[in-house]
Every structure is written in structure tokens, then in C-alpha cells.
Structure 1
Amino acid sequence: MHTRIARVIAASSLVLAASACSSDQPPVEFASAAPLSAFYHPEAATVAGPRGSVIRSQLITGERAVPGARTYLVLYRSLDAQEKTVAVSGTLAVPEGVAPEGGWPLISWGPGSTGVADVCAASRSEGSSPSREEQARWVAAGYAVARTDYLGLGTPGEHGYMIGETEHRALADIATGAREIDKSVGSRWVAMGHSQGGHAAMFAAADSAGWAPSSPLLGAVALAPASHLGEQVRMAKWAVSNPLGKLGTGDISVYVPLLVRGAQTITDIDPTRFLTDRAVSLLPVADSECTGGLREKDKWGGLSPKDVFTRDGDISGLLRVLDDNDPGGLRLTVPVLVLQGRADLTVPAASTDAMVSELQGRGESVDYRKYDEVDHSRIVSASFADVLSWVDGRFGIAR
């Protein structure tokens, strides 16, 4: 695996340079009569401020609220990969009733892949969904749940899909901002996420303790975390040059436009150097549609690797980004729980096995649980009891 000397240096400097993230001013409440879409587009003058502070919030009611909780739509500050202050959206669900001493324990949740277009932001599609039901289970268990949309997803700017640096910042900064929105939320938190969110939780376990020292991170839970994406792209490219090759098919074609757009947020990637004309023509679809639309047969879902990659294309730039953002090479600062369904066709179990093996082989603290006959979507509900027990242990909660 690639080394991450630069990441270690950056993490060390963050510990020294981290600023206090809480603002002395309460967040501005957003007028509920205004169009919801306006919430995500703050005036430029309001964006400046310390990372982890809140720009504004709005109470959510009706079917979009998490049952048993005060639910807020949130706009908070973070830093993008170029260290520019940006607005990030998300939600916060706080249990009703009296908080325990020290405040409600907090989970900062990273959603799974939805796309890179603003309309794909998780907070824009709350409603009655499995993710909302999972939040309600955690609220019923006595946890506040902050749920980021990630940088550039829902708000101005580009979304750094599978870029660990900005993903973990999104998780840490909303965890800090949660206390500003609702004083009953405690300062201690656990990073948690599924798929892309699992990837984000892994990077939080490596970097967020230094990024947000005023918000103690106790651990991270990664459910079917994306890993070895570089290897999957390599296999897809190999299949183009090997007519009998069957590797690299599966879902990877659908995620190629998202990976390209994510890589372009941190480096100069020219997709015309390695994508076919047909694939290049379909790239703009990712800028307007979510993963469901990308899966359609007349779009990315109908493409094989041979339809996506040119035979002699140079994918080295994209591979560098994917390898540098692979969680298998991280140095963890807190314990991590990884959970994987063995019937997962989206995040291959073999990839997670390899990632965990790499981490444990270096002595990293990783607890790995595997579930037979559980696919990608069902891992969240299938593992809930195990995850709850593990997270309770991190907070010292006895039931």
C-alpha cells in the first residue's frame, strides 16, 4: 500500500493549529417560510467563521423529522481541501426528555453514496426512509445523531467523493457544531457510517482527534466501508485489454463518474485521457442525477468496463488519488469496529477482508464482525445490536 507521510505531517500540524470551533453567538434561525432550497445557499458574508461553528439552523417537523427527537436542519462551517471555509449542510436529531449528565452521547453519521449532485444530499430526501428509521433507533437508545451531507453536496462547491480528508472534516465539524445548536448534546462522539460513510468513519478514526480536539472522539464504526477502489479500477481497466477477463465488472462502472468528479476536487484529472467518447459524453449525468439515475441502462448502468475505459488510456492520475485515499494504509488514533455482509455485491467482502488484514497486520485496533447472507443495504439493520453494544462500551453506558 502507498505510504502516507504527508498525512502524518498534516495530522501533527493540525493538533498544533486546531482552533476553538464553537462560536459565542447562537446560530441564526432560518425563516421557515422561505423556500427550503434557499437554506443551502448562504450569503457569502455569513460563511466566514471558525470551522465547526454553525451558520444557521431550522427545526424540522412532520414526516421529515426523526421520531422521538427534536430534529434540526443545519448549515455549519468546515474547510475544503484547499483550506477554504465552506458551508456544509446536515441534520441533527436530539432525543426528547432530560439529557444524562454530560449531555446526550453523540453519533456523527456519514451517509452512503448518493451521488455528487446537490439534489443527492441526504438531508434533502429525509422523509420516510430506512436511514431515518435507523436514526430513530439510535435516538430511542439515548443517542443524538448528527448526519452530514458532506462538503459540496447540497451546498455550493464540488463534492469530494471518497476524499478522506474532507469526509472526516465534515463528520468532526458537525459533531462540534451540534453542541451550539442544542446545549443538551455532549462533547464526546463516535464516528459512524455506511459505505461511503464507512470510508469517512475510517478517516475520522485516523485524523479527527487532531482536527477537533475540543470534541473527544471515542471510536469509529465502519459499516461496509469502501476500500481498494484503486484495485477495482485497475481490474476494470485490465478487463478492457483481456477479452476473456471477467474481473472488474459489477458495480464499478456506475461509480466511475463519481470517482472522477471526486478526484477533480483535489487534482487536475482529464477524463478524456482514459475514458471512451461514450463515457465522456455521460459524465455530465453525474452532475445532475443521483446513483439511482446513474444505474439506468441507458446511462452508466448499461456500460461494461470496455465501454468505460480506453485500451491504452492513462489512468495513473486517478489511481494516485484513489490509492492515497484508501483506508487500508491509515494509522488509527481510536478503536474501530468494522462490519461487513458476506453477500455484499457493492462493497466486496474480499476488499474489506484485505483492508482489515492490512490494518491489523500493523497492530491497529480493529474489531471485525462478518455476517453471512447479509447484503450491502441490510448490514446496517443486521448489525445494530452488535454496534449498539460496542458504542455503549465506548461511552461507558450500561444497560
Structure 2
Amino acid sequence: MRSGYCLAVCLLLACSGGSTTASTDTLVDTLSGEVLDNGALDAGQDVSTLPDALTDATVVDVSTEETQEEDIADTTSLDSASDVVIDPLQTKGGVIIDSEHLATWSQLEVQLYLNTWAPGAISAYGVSIYRLFYTTQSPLGLFTIGSSLAVFPDSPLPTEPTVAVSWNHGTTGTADKCSVSTYGANNALYGVVYAGHGYAVVLPDYPGLGTPGPHPYMVRDATAVSVVDGVRALRSLGAEIGYPVSERVFSLGHSQGGHAVISAHSFFEGPYGDDLDYLGGVAFAPGGEFLDVIQDYVTSTVVPSAFLAMMYNAWLTDRGVPISLLFKPPYDDYMPQWVEQFCLVELAGMLPFTRSELYHPEAITAMETGFTSMPEMAAIIADNTPPVETTETPLLVLHGASDTVVPVEVSHGIFARSCGLEAPMELQIEPGLDHTTIVGSTMLLQAKQWMDARVEGLPWQPSDCPSD
């Protein structure tokens, strides 16, 4: 480990003009690029000017162009907030701040681990597991710290650089303690599965999980940028440890991670990912089609959803809109605190039993009608419901027909949306599988075979869109 994480945070604060005594969780309240006391770097700052302790890793494709300032003089109403657009950083993230080797497991140790946690999965190699900290974009467009696990095959060096995989996890919560990488090597299951077959894998935590600042739960742009940045950090680490990682990359993810995959699809293809060769994405039971999901939720008999409450909190916070727009007292005060303290199961147990206790009557009415009475809120939700633009790279969506957490209709809606954008997509509905078993060893192997075919350049056939 090159330097302690706490030291890295202090150095970030020191070099950015922030106070080391200020809370690193203070929300950024501007898009101007000004450095505030959230531990962020100026988005336009050339990282090559930072102290060596922050830049002794390989720096991948860092531009020094300044990010354009955004005018958000009034974000207290939906009218103004709905016009706020966060442009992707022109100065790209993924620069390693710190790394730590956690474990090396032999092929036998990997197989014993998989026998317990992914029965039926077979590993060809041992693995080496690391934890990474690197630069990425905060929800408000500033550099902040991202974290992840990284898993490499423990095998003889291949003749060509190893293909990269980004595995994006499902919902754990939005508090720092919900970070997957915090709990070390044993949480690297999906990375171990694919590294055991020769891929190099990064498992990002998403911004604000275990690192400074809020977690932008289901916020499309901030999530997408962090996925791409994690791959850059993986490649930099590979260069450091002498295990070269190719610019060729796949993104995979489950549930919230499926939303991340589809969100990042256009970012990998576009200017932000132009230093990478994106081969495709696999989304397992992805979150999405939020307006339809919300309407189904409010017309059902279930108690208030923690997933939905976290999304509302993140979407409104991302746009600078007071959450009191939807949440009733005292929950408009409680939610910002709870999401920083509790993980999913804990939060679910703290919400009131009825929606009428949690949300304003007019908010419930808006939810029932797809927010037609709150068009600005509908626009915010639409902005975070991918896909929102045409893409060309292969995308496979796998969904269990028996899923009761993310209904299969969500993936049907994503497919219809893709067809409308003329963005090719392959949809496979798996009979008898639910939200958990869709990421069982059989489906993980199916995704691996799909990736192998893309690496080999075999033809890909998207699902046929319905004719007009």
C-alpha cells in the first residue's frame, strides 16, 4: 500500500485548498468547479501538478481543458433545477490515488470459495485481489474519490493484454458502510468468477460509497462516469503490477448495476470513453422504467419502498431541489441523515408503514399519474432512465421471468425504448429465475460465453424489434 487512505484524503484537501478540519461529507453546492470542503479537486486542474503521493500511479489520458461553468443561481424550484445539465468532465478520472493488495488465492482456494458462494462455477486460475482509490466525478461535476475492488488472474502473463470487465453491484444502500470494497476480498465474488476465466475485473463501489460525498443512487450521468473511470484505474493498476490490461472492455452488472451498465453504454462509446475499446455490456435484471415502476408501486398494497425513497432523495439532491417537495415532515429531515447512516435493510425497517405518512398527498397523486402534475419531476426521472440515446455496441439484457423485485416488464420497457432509439439490444427472459437466481453460476457462465464470442469477433444478433 503506497500511502494510507486517510493521508490521501488529507492531501486532496490540502492541495485543493479545502480545510482538513472540515467535514469531507459537506455537499457541494455549485457546479462552477470551485473547490469546496468535500475533498474534491477542481475539475479543470491538471493532475500532473499534484503532489507525487497522488500521482505516482500511471496517469491515463488526462486532459487539461477546463470544464465549462454551469449557472445554477436558483435551484430552489423544479423550474430552474430541471434545466441543470451536468456535462461529463473534459478532464478524465481514473487516476489511482492509492492501492492495497488484499489477497492471492490459489486455483484450489478459488474453487473452494466458488463451491460455497457460486456452486457450479469453475475456475481455471487462482486470483490476486486489490482495493483501489482513484479520481472520479462527483454528482456535481467535481473530481472526488472513487473506490473499488480489482481482481486479476493469478496465471502466466498472456501473450496479449487481458480484456477488462467492470462488474457493477446491486443495491446495498447509500451509506459509506454499505460499500462493497470496504469488506475486502470475500466480497469480490463476481470478480473472482470472471478473473478465474482470464479476465481482469474491477468492481466499483459507485461515488460516495465508502468515499467522501453523497452516493448518487440511480443518477445516470454520475454513475456512468464512475464506471468508465473504474476501468481506467484497473488498467493503471495492471501497468503497475506488471499485468497489462487491454483497452478492450465489457461492463456487467446486476439490478442497480444493470442500470449502471445501460447508463454507461453511451459513455463508453462517446468522447468520455474514447481511450477504451468497448466491446459490449450485460445487464442482469436492470433497474429502469422508473415512471412505470412508481405507478405500479403506488397502486399496490406494499409498504413504502426503501428503493424508491433512496431514488427520490438522490434525484432531488442531484438537482439541488429540497426533498420536502415530496417528503413530509419529519421525514424530509430524517431522509438525508438516514441515507448517510444506514444500509438498505436497515432503512427499509425505519420507514413508516404507510405512504401517506412519508409523502405529501399531492406527491402521491403525482406518482399515481406518472408525475403529469409535476412535469419537471417527470423530466428529472426521465433523464435518469436509460437508455436515452442511440448506441451501436452489443447489449445483452437477462431477466428472470419470476423476478418480484425488479419486474420483468422493466426489461421489456428497456427493450422497447432501445427499439425506439434504433439502439440494438438482445433480450433474454429466463423462465423460472428470480432476482437472485438470475446471477447464479449458470447465467454468469452464459454471460462469459457471450463475452468470449465478442472477443473472438463472432457475429452478434440483436433481438428483433416489433414492426410498425
TM-score when normalising by structure 1: 0.80
Q: Measure the CA separation in 1 of the matches of 2:457 and 2:193.
A: 16
Residue identity matched to 1:166: A
The corresponding residue for 1:14 is none
The answer as to 2:98 corresponding to 1:56 is yes
- Would you say the 8 A contact 2:400–2:434 is kept in 1? yes
Residues of 1 paired with 2:342 and 2:159: CA distance?
A: 44
Q: Is the 8 A contact 1:69 1:139 kept in 2?
A: yes
Aligned AA (1:214): D
Answer with 272-281 or 143-152: which moved more. 272-281
Residue 194 of structure 1 aligns with which residue?
Answer: 254
1:310 aligned partner: 360
**Superposed counterparts of 1:236-255, under 5 Å:** 236=297, 239=298, 247-250=299-302, 253-255=305-307
Shift of 1:303: 2.9
- Aligned letter for 2:189? E
| Structure-2 residue corresponding to 1:233 | 294
1:85 aligns to 2:143 (yes or no):
yes
1:109-128 aligned within 5 A: 109-126=167-184, 128=186
- Match among 455, 460, 464 for residue 395 of structure 1: 455
- In structure 2, do the counterparts of structure 1 residues 252 and 332 end up closer, same or farther at CA, with 3 Å as the change threshold? farther
How far is the alpha carbon of 1:248 from its aligned partner?
Answer: 4.4
2:216 to 148, 154, 160: 160
CA contact (8 A) 1:257 1:286 kept: no
C-alpha distance 224-175 of structure 1, shift in aligned 2 (>3 A): same
Q: Higher Cα Rg: structure 1 or 2?
A: 2
1:248-304 deviation digits (Å, cap 9, x = unpaired):
4548621133113321442122222322335435412222001121222xx12x533
Q: Are residues 1:355 and 2:414 paired?
A: yes
1:98–1:127 Cα change, 3 Å: closer
Residue of 377, 389, 396 corresponding to 1:330? 389
* Structure-1 residue corresponding to 2:11: 43
Following TM superposition, by how much is the alpha carbon of 1:311 offset from its aligned partner in structure 2, in angstroms? 1.4
Matching of residue 288 in structure 1 with residue 341 in structure 2: yes
Gaps of 5+ in 1: 1-27, 32-36, 240-246
State whether residues 228 and 273 of structure 2, in contact with CA within 8 Å, keep that contact through their aligned partners in structure 1.
yes
Partner of 1:69: 127
Q: Is 1:261 equivalent to 2:282 in the alignment?
A: no
- Of structures 1 and 2, the one scoring higher in RCO (CA 8 A, sep 6+) is 1
Asked if 1 retains the 8 angstrom alpha-carbon contact of 2:139 and 2:222, the reply is: yes
Q: CA deviation at 1:337?
A: 0.4
Aligned positions of 1:137-176 closer than 5 A: 137-176=193-232
**1:251, 1:175 → 2: CA distance?**
38
Specify the SS of the correspondent of 1:150.
coil
Aligned residues: 351
Q: 1:40 to 1:92 in 2, by over 3 A?
A: farther
SS in 2 for 1:226: coil
Q: Deviations over 1:353-381 (max 9, x none)?
A: 11112213443211111112211122111
Q: Which moved more, 1:303-312 or 1:200-209?
A: 303-312
Query: Which runs of structure 1 show a deviation greater than 4 angstroms over 4 or more consecutive aligned residues?
Result: 248-252
Contact 1:90-1:148 within 8 A present in 2 as well? yes
Question: Structure 2: which amino acid aligns with 1:287?
Answer: E
CA distance in 2, matches of 1:187, 1:329: 25
